A and B are shown apart, each in its own frame.
Chain A
Amino acid sequence: GAGVSQSPRYKVTKRGQDVALRCDPISGHVSLYWYRQALGQGPEFLTYFNYEAQQDKSGLPNDRFSAERPEGSISTLTIQRTEQRDSAMYRCASSPGTGNLYEQYFGPGTRLTVT
């Protein structure tokens, strides 16, 4: 079956522009997660949803970052007024439900470069 997909796979943007990163989870998965991964580091948690409800956004670095999952399926991570320090790989993951929060299936990621 189809795995987690993310789009775009690569995004180059100029400092100050807004970007929207999309995640399409595995069909039927209740939970959806966003992580950010710097080069040579492990993924760092940003936020997660159960259905359409944002359960934890403690990892979002500042108020330029926001995420939504309005219908409990596709999610969008938005970064406003991008800065060079936002350059990273942004990874999305999904899991079947609250009993399997940590069996997360990751997408291929979106490589964001802010110039």
Chain B
Amino acid sequence: GDSVTQMEGPVTLSEEAFLTINCTYTATGYPSLFWYVQYPGEGLQLLLKATKADDKGSNKGFEATYRKETTSFHLEKGSVQVSDSAVYFCALGMNYGGSQGNLIFGKGTKLSVKP
């Protein structure tokens, strides 16, 4: 079945370091891809999305490119801040069929940024 695999955490970085969180997916069709973020004590928030191959999603300095050839959607940020400390979830959603609306999430990667 459809699934998402993301890198194990926790990830600990110093402020202003470069961030990459790897995400790969398995899907029978052509999904949309998402990164959600969960700050401490809050619900999940949509961070960015890409709906087709080669699309780049971006928000708050974060970027991810939908790579169909490698079935990947890695999250990157050039310079992290302490306020980026959170749990990041990669997710996919199918664009057709009975499973529309059903987001499939990875296990999450906890990021801690030290000053």
Contacts and interface: CB of A to CB of B under 8 A. Distances in A.
A41 interface: yes
Given A4-B43, A108-B42, A101 B100 contact: yes
Interface string A38-58: 001111110010000001101
B43 A91 contact: yes
B101 A42 contact: no
Contacts of A41: 107-108
A59 interface: yes
B43 A31 contact: no
Contact of A42 (B41, B45, B89): B89
Contacts, number: 70
Interface residues of A, number: 27
Interface size class, chain B: 20 to 34
Contact of B103 (A4, A58, A104): A104
B73 interface: no
B105 interface: yes
Interface string A1-20: 00110000000000000000
Given A102-B34, A102-B49, A106-B44, A45 B100 contact: no
Contact of B102 (A3, A45, A109): A45
Nearest to A48: B101
A3 B49 contact: no
Given A41-B107, A45-B104, A56-B99, A104 B42 contact: no
A45 B103 contact: yes
Contacts of A43: 44, 89, 103, 105
Given A43-B103, A48-B101, A56-B101, 7 more contacts: A42-B89, A43-B105, A45-B102, A45-B103, A58-B99, A59-B102, A104-B44
**Across chains A and B, which 10 residue pairs bring their CB atoms closest together, nearest first?**
A42-B105, A106-B43, A106-B44, A102-B93, A45-B102, A48-B101, A101-B101, A108-B43, A43-B105, A42-B89
Interface of B: 4, 32, 34, 36, 41-46, 49, 89, 91, 93, 98-108
27 contacts: A3-B43, A31-B101, A33-B103, A35-B103, A41-B108, A42-B4, A42-B89, A42-B91, A42-B105, A42-B108, A43-B105, A45-B104, A55-B100, A56-B99, A58-B98, A93-B43, A102-B46, A102-B93, A102-B101, A104-B46, A104-B103, A105-B43, A105-B45, A106-B36, A106-B44, A108-B42, A109-B43
